[in-house]
Structure 1
Amino acid sequence: MEKSLLVLCLILFFTYSYVSANYYPPKALVSTVSKNTILPIFTFTLNTNQEFFIHIGGPYLVRKCNDGLPRPIVPCGSPVCALTRRVTPHQCSLPSNKIINGVCACQATAFEPFQRICNSDQFTYGDLSISSLNPISPSVTINNVYYLCIPQPFLVDFPPGVFGLAGLAPTALATWNQLTRPRLGLEKKFALCLPSDENPLKKGAIYFGGGPYKLRNIDARSMLSYTRLITNPRKLNNYFLGLKGISVNGNRILFAPNAFAFDRNGDGGVTLSTIFPFTMLRSDIYRVFTEAFSQATSGIPRVSSTTPFEFCLSTTTNFQVPRIDLELADGVIWKLSPANAMKKVSDDVACLAFVNGGDAAAQAVMIGIHQMENTLVEFDVGRSAFGFSSSLGLVSASCGDFQTRP
């Protein structure tokens, strides 16, 4: 009996050692983030050298598959295939499944947001590796990660080296959810710091599974304020925030009642995007907001608009940007720094970095890339919470100062 127990303990020990060395990082999974100069996209690295576009509204991982090799089949009647149907991008129709070698193989659909096209192909699975902050195991391989395998011409206009699209939506098949499996001991969350400088040497960071988010000598989790993530049952692929109001120079703007609320079709609300370069406001909100901003900058000369902006100012004299605050649920305030509120378009012109989304905009507010740059944001899906820091520039730091190596 004692001998059998000893053998069992040894088996468990070696099994645990194998899992620890290869799969169990005590810290987060991590990658550097690069800002592309061709398209307004950010990428991070999987499988050592494959760049994936960060799309927080994408329901799953999408990979280019141009080698013609057979892939493992996800059966049509499986729970995984049913999940793909539930989160098919609303811009696309449900695909028809196919018979491969006599087996019904699950087909799924991805929406390419720049060409605005839908493409369907085989949903399959394989192994992925990503860096870890664990010095014992600086690279972690995760088996049987589900992804949509799409050949060209999908993503054909993406820059060279971009291998696919990493969907980070609040869905069961999202990339973050598959990388933070229970056996890894990681939390159901991911964090982003998007670099603001187009210099390719300037990098950001993405973390999967929690912190610490080491920014020089501090853990940047201490810098985060939190608000609730709101579920919209009609838009399962998006993260929504509760926005109560917007202030300019401390003066709260008077909007129409329920201006930021969902309507009966699930439209409206306030969401975030790594697709849109600048925050989009529905026309009724945009008009009131820019009028308040115009009054607050009445002493600064206006200049001609520059696409896509409508409100631009001269920076040559008396240029001081009024403070813009987003009042979120529970009274939490997201204070936008001047660098996040304005976009410098020339040596002597800066424009308000908010754009008119039109009367029929799907959301009341779509918080875009520029407003999130050089800011640490955390999507704590397990707790339905969204965390955000102030601009790192206010503490003389940048996204490139985060630790991304053991």
Structure 2
Amino acid sequence: MRRLFFHHLLAVSALLLAAQWGGGRAVHAPLVSPLAKDPATSLYTIFIKDGSGPLVVDLAGPLIWSACACASGHPTFPCGSAECAAASGFSCPPQGQEDYGGGGAAVDGGDHRCMCTARPCDPVTRARCAAGDLTSFAMSANATDGRNALYPVSFQAVGACAPNWLLRSSSLPAGAAGVAGFGRAPLSLPSQLAAQRGFGRRFALCLPGVAIFGDTPIHLGSYPPDLMTTIASTPLAANPRGSGGYYLPVEAISVSWSNWNVAPTRAALPPGALELDAATGRGGVTLSTVRRYTAMRPDVYRAFVQAFGEAIGRPGYVKTMPAVPPFELCYDTFSLRRVKVLGWDVPSIRLELGAGATMNWTVGAGNSMVQAAERTLCLAVVEMHGAEAAAPAVVIGGYQVEDNLLVFEEDKEVLHFSGLLWGSGATCSGFNFTAPL
């Protein structure tokens, strides 16, 4: 099922390449765009669409969409086109349900003379969706050598023309023009750029700071080597039900102190709790840029917080504090020690990855703890509720991957990850965007 799904993606991408951009195989320079974090919503935006505000980055989203009036004279695609076939590969979830796979598009069918209609959705709630013409947008980014922004590049991208009410009613930052889907889908932004420019199906995110598209060295800040030569990697798991999200092959979760000579505390998870169900597509551990904090299904969450509580309490000097919603485990900062560069001295969370990973995924204090009140530091992990209980077992939120370099290689189904960059000389904000344009 997984292999067939990706063969389908490749086939549709090839159709798009032939239908819209010709059959040329020229390889163009990789592209780079800045990423920002909205302080009000904690969502991340990319500055890439010409003549409008930024687009919200949805790592699991299958589609680009932006508000535009129906009478604006925008181009459209017929229902029988390759672009329309690509848009129909992912369906919007029913009203009131969430689907972390991206919930993106459905099309009018049958009549090849009709105009293709896509269904963009609010990336945060996945509950608000609307019908809109499949159209094309003018976009621009900068060519890059992996170290500098070189010169501006303009291009067209296929996306959905959403009604203005969807933009107004969605949980998006003020001034945002829409959404840029980065998921495993032919009409996601990385897939379209790879098809157009022939630079490989690879993209990098460093939040907040920079997005890089294409096969290139990556240099951030004063860290001299190409980061691609130094960071860890893991195979990516794929959702067999066609979800556009990126899944990690996590086999267990443990908690450990770096400065105590004691064995890690492993969360006592139910058997198979983290597995991705091949029949339903539920479960698994996935990444999100629209979920603020990591969320866990109740059975996983309860075992995890018990393990974390036991580990942080083992030294005997850490004092608990009352919970600060939505967080459950909170601690008195007066009882904790500061660690140079890395923040607070608390146990690290380890996602134990399966075979093929060069290193486990470790979440330290800089990505695991949040100052929730005066003298109160809380574990930035929350419990899923209601319908979410049938979603992935774990959704790793944006806070947990900030200041981490993530490089997705879709051809190889591999994710490269740096861990927290603090203290390395590399920073997500360290890319050189000041070169003359």
Interval containing the TM-score (normalised by the shorter chain): 0.7 to 0.9
1:376 Cα deviation after fit: 0.4
Q: Decide which of 372, 375, 392 is 1:348's aligned counterpart.
A: 375
Q: CA RMSD in A?
A: 2.5
1:400 and 1:336 map into 2 onto residues whose CA distance is 20
1:62 Cα deviation after fit: 0.5
The answer to whether the 8 Å contact 2:237/2:249 transfers is yes
Deviations 1:235-276 (A, max 9, x none): 422111110111111333332211111233111111111111
More off after superposition, 290-299 vs 245-254: 245-254
Answer yes or no: is 1:231 the counterpart of 2:238: yes
1:284 and 1:311 map into 2 onto residues whose CA distance is 17
Partner residue in 2 for 1:44: 46
Partner residue in 1 for 2:23: none
1:284 Cα deviation after fit: 0.7
Partner residue in 1 for 2:249: 242
Partner residue in 1 for 2:319: 301
Partner residue in 2 for 1:255: 269
2:326 and 2:108 map into 1 onto residues whose CA distance is 41
The answer to whether the 8 Å contact 1:132/1:405 transfers is no
Letter in 1 for 2:41: L
More off after superposition, 158-167 vs 395-404: 395-404
What number of residue pairs does the alignment pair up? 372
Answer yes or no: is 1:123 the counterpart of 2:148: no
- Superposition pairs for residues 28-67 of structure 1, below 5 Å? 28-47=30-49, 50-66=53-69
Answer yes or no: is 1:148 the counterpart of 2:148: no
The answer to whether the 8 Å contact 1:314/1:350 transfers is yes
- Identity, in percent, stands at 31
Answer yes or no: is 1:391 the counterpart of 2:420: yes
Letter in 2 for 1:104: C
Q: Decide which of 289, 304, 321 is 1:289's aligned counterpart.
A: 304
Answer yes or no: is 1:165 the counterpart of 2:168: no
Partner residue in 2 for 1:13: none
SS in 1 for 2:54: strand
More off after superposition, 68-77 vs 52-61: 68-77
2:230 and 2:418 map into 1 onto residues whose CA distance is 5
Answer yes or no: is 1:132 the counterpart of 2:143: yes
Gap change, CA 1:214 and 1:91, over 3 Å in 2: farther
Q: Decide which of 121, 142, 145 is 1:111's aligned counterpart.
A: 121
Deviations 1:257-309 (A, max 9, x none): 11111233111111111111111111111111111111112221111111111
1:42 and 1:322 map into 2 onto residues whose CA distance is 28
1:137 Cα deviation after fit: 6.0
Letter in 2 for 1:90: P
More off after superposition, 314-323 vs 362-371: 314-323
1:372 and 1:142 map into 2 onto residues whose CA distance is 29
Partner residue in 2 for 1:376: 405
Partner residue in 1 for 2:89: 86
1:274 and 1:63 map into 2 onto residues whose CA distance is 18
Gap change, CA 1:382 and 1:291, over 3 Å in 2: same
Q: Decide which of 279, 287, 293 is 1:278's aligned counterpart.
A: 293
2:190 and 2:298 map into 1 onto residues whose CA distance is 34
1:210 Cα deviation after fit: 2.9
Determine which structure has more spread, i.e. the larger CA radius of gyration. Answer: 1
SS in 1 for 2:190: helix
Letter in 1 for 2:135: T
